[in-house]
Amino acid sequence: MSALLRVSEVSKSFGGVTANRALSLSVDAGAIAGLIGPNGSGKTTLFNCIVGRHPVDSGSVVFDGREIRHRTVPQIARLGLLRTFQQTRVYGAMDCVQNMQISAPQRDAENARQKLFRKVPAAVTEKAESLLEFAGLYEKRRLRAGELSFGQQKLLEFAMALMNEPKMLLLDEPTAGINPTLINGIMERLLRANAELGITLLVIEHNMRVIMNLAQHIYCLAHGSLLAAGTPQEVREDPRVLSAYLGAQ
Amino acid sequence: MTAARAAGYAALVAVAVAAPFVLPQYQSQLALLWVMVVLALSWDIVGGQMGYNSFGNIVFFGIGVYATAVVQRDLFFDIDEYAHAAGGVASQLAPLEYLGGLALGLVLGALLAVLAAAVLGAGILRLRGHYFAICTLGLGIAMGEIAGGTDYIGAGSGLVTPLFPELLGERNRFFYFYFMLLAFTCFGVLGAVYRCRFGLALNAIRDNEDKAEAMGLRTTRYKTIAWCLSAVFLALAGGAYGNFIGFVDPVDTAFAGPTLGVWMILMAIMGGRGTLWGPVLGAMIFHVSREFLWTYLLGWDRMILGLLTVLIVLFLPLGILGWLRGRTAGRAAAAGVKPSAAESRPSSSTSQPPLSESQP
Ligand SMILES: Nc1ncnc2c1ncn2[C@@H]1O[C@H](COP(=O)(O)OP(=O)(O)O)[C@@H](O)[C@H]1O
Ligand SMILES: [Mg+2]
């Protein structure tokens, strides 16, 4: 299998804080990879570096065969590399269906221009509603996104990402702050998005049970550096990982 | 469109058309009412639907005022003669000359305003929040100063617009219908545009621009188009407004930031920003109160108007229309369409995200 995303030697510091130190990782097309590490170890920063939100200090990010280090956030998103936010971000005053409609993909510039002053096609709305159903939000579809609970907003954000038909999705703590009874539902949906829609996933996750069951390959960060990498089994038994977590708690 | 809705619109149009005949003594105030509607509607494109507080939209209005007045002057008058008579030329034009000059001026003004919006937009639409607001404020003030110092457009002493040809009938009625049609067009175009993907994109930018970018939306392009759309209608209003007033002063007529520039914001907020009818409603209430106060309580009018604005912003932060909608939504919720609390919110208060504020 070939790597869909390849991050090589990426470094990023904020003033004196080195949030990412020469990080390298790669995710194969169709795979589910995990990114773990104690709080403040640089996981979110790495996402921000990959999607073009932070200019990286050095290193390279290759997605789908293209160097994307110098591209902007929307450009990278249109290549099919999307991210969700740790603190949810939805369009609060718009209802769920509208949140979904505006997330429909507009990759081709010409096509986007033509559709800008047209009504949203019925097919798009249908797809929006079926994905809301998939996310378990169909009953809430006419509520404003801002009125949803935090967990529901996480689900909406996930559905919006699927609506955009990405090749790859970077998920920042999809189960954090969510009622434990719903975590299995989220896991199951992530697995289905991967298996049925063929979306490659890179998931930041704090919940060890979740990530061990989800990912085929796991990277562990500590203090901005790559501490360990391998199968869930290998990472779980790595003494450095254990001490990083114990030391950080 | 349902039959009831169509009938409602037809009734409104009928009232609008009949108004200057029924109330001929209020013709000019009624004409101004439509100007206010256009100002509020066009401010709301960027300020309401897109959530970018602009204090500088008056710039496009002023560009329209000047472009039209200058075209009318240069098209038919010898500039030396005009300067000699210090603007006091008995500029009597034939009806077709007048209309031709006005039309050409309006078109040119609209084009110039769009150009200005595109150029200025490239510079300042990248700014967010207060930075954008302050920058636009400076822009409006600067334009007034520049116009007041430019001899070609009359500098501080302004420009006189051509006399309205008597053959065209009553001047105020002519402008009443121009502004009325412009307001209808503006309302219709915006209504159509907001129902398209473009409208959703503007709302997405308003609600969370970072998210919109992360989802691949071409935010820069949409912001620029919105700003240009606003500029077109403002310039078309401004061009005729100069002629309607009859005299172009750089700060009082054209770049009238402290009056028209502020009012357009107040009207949109008062009625309900981010809605189609809100700015219309706000403009009507504001303008009628203003005329009434000016007539009966001169001297107190500005204070009372200011107070009214403060009260509305304090107690109806979503504007009159927003408040009405909230009430109907509240009733719907009471009737059982309420969001059920199927999920608990996260227990830690730090993980509660701000929903509408865009984060740094
Ligand atoms: N925009 C920023 N400006 C300054 N420092 C930042 C910024 N983003 C992250 N950091 C710092 O980088 C480090 C890593 O943070 P982060 O990537 O959010 O960690 P994680 O997601 O693993 O919890 C922290 O020390 C954090 O304070
Ligand atoms: Mg994080």
- pLDDT for A106 equals 86
From A71, which residue of chain B is nearest by alpha-carbon distance? Answer: B216
| Residue B63 within a domain | yes
Give the chain A residue nearest B329 (alpha carbons). A143
**A152 within ligand 1 shell (Cβ under 6 A):** no
Q: What is the CATH number of domain A3-246?
A: 3.40.50.300
> Mean of the pLDDT values across residues B350-360?
35
pLDDT of the residue at B353: 35
Burial B37-74 (b: 16+ CB within 10 A, else e): bbbbbbbbbbbbbbbbbbbbbbbbbbbbbbbbbbbbbe
Highest averaged pLDDT of the listed ranges A109-118, B242-251, B311-320? B242-251
Q: The whole model's pTM is what?
A: 0.90
Overall average pLDDT of the A143-163 stretch: 94
Flag whether B344 is in a domain: no
Residue A162's alpha-carbon distances to A127, A130, B218, in angstroms, are 10, 11, 19
**Cβ < 5 A residues, ion ligand 2:** A 44, 86
Give me ligand 2 centre to Cα A219, in Å: 15
Q: Tell me what the mean pLDDT of segment A229-239 comes to.
A: 91
Which atom of ligand 1 is nearest the CA belonging to A204? 21
Burial of A35 (C-beta count, 10 Å sphere; 0-12/13-18/19+): buried
Is the per-residue pLDDT at B358 higher than 60? no
Structure confidence at residue B78 (pLDDT): 61
Q: What is the pLDDT of residue A124?
A: 95
Which is higher by pLDDT, B101 or B89?
B101
Q: Are A100 and A163 in contact (CB under 8 A)?
A: yes
Does B342 reach chain A within 8 Å, measured CB to CB?
Answer: yes
| Percentage above 90 pLDDT, chain A | 82
Q: Looking at the domain assignment, is residue B307 inside a domain?
A: no
Work out the angle between the directed axes of helices B95-124 and B58-76 (0-180°, nearest 10).
Answer: 140
B283: confidence class by pLDDT, cuts 50, 70, 90 = very high
**In this predicted model, which residue has the larger pLDDT, A178 or B48?**
B48
How many other CB atoms are there within 10 angstroms of residue A109's CB atom?
11
Express each pLDDT in A33-65 by its tens digit.
999 999 999 999 999 999 999 999 999 999 999
Residues B174-178: what's their mean pLDDT? 97
Contact B132, B54 (CB under 8 A): yes
Give the model's pLDDT for residue B202: 98
| pLDDT tens, position by position, B298-347 | 778 778 878 888 888 888 888 989 888 888 776 665 554 434 333 333 33
Domain contains B115: yes
Cβ-based contacts of A120 with chain B (< 8 Å): 196-197, 200
The domain segmentation of chain A, as residue ranges, is 3-246
Predicted local distance difference test score (pLDDT) of residue A109: 81
Rounded Cα distance, B72 and B252, in Å: 20
Interatomic CA distance for residues B183 and A100, integer angstroms: 33
Ligand 1 neighbourhood includes A41 CB (under 6 angstroms): yes
Domain count for chain B, please give it. 1
pLDDT surpasses 80 at B83: no
Q: Which tokens belong to B174?
A: 């002519």
In a domain, B170, yes or no: yes
For residue A241, the model assigns a pLDDT of 87
Strand partners, A119: B196
Quickly state the pLDDT bin for B360 (edges 50, 70, 90).
very low
Give percent of chain B above pLDDT 70.
87
What integer is the mean pLDDT of B115-129? Answer: 92
**What is the predicted ipTM?**
0.93
Residue-level pLDDT at A110: 80
Residue A82: band (very low, low, confident or very high) from pLDDT cuts 50, 70, 90: very high
Nearest-by-CA chain A residue for B225: A116
Cα(B358) to centroid(ligand 1), Å: 18
Q: Which tokens is A11 given?
A: 């470094």
- B331 versus A131: the higher-pLDDT residue is A131
Mean pLDDT of A3-22: 95
pLDDT at position A243? 84
Q: Which domain holds residue B157?
A: 22-289
With respect to residue B192, please indicate whether it lies within any of the assigned structural domains: yes
The pLDDT assigned to A85 comes to: 94
Residue B269 pLDDT greater than 90, yes or no: yes
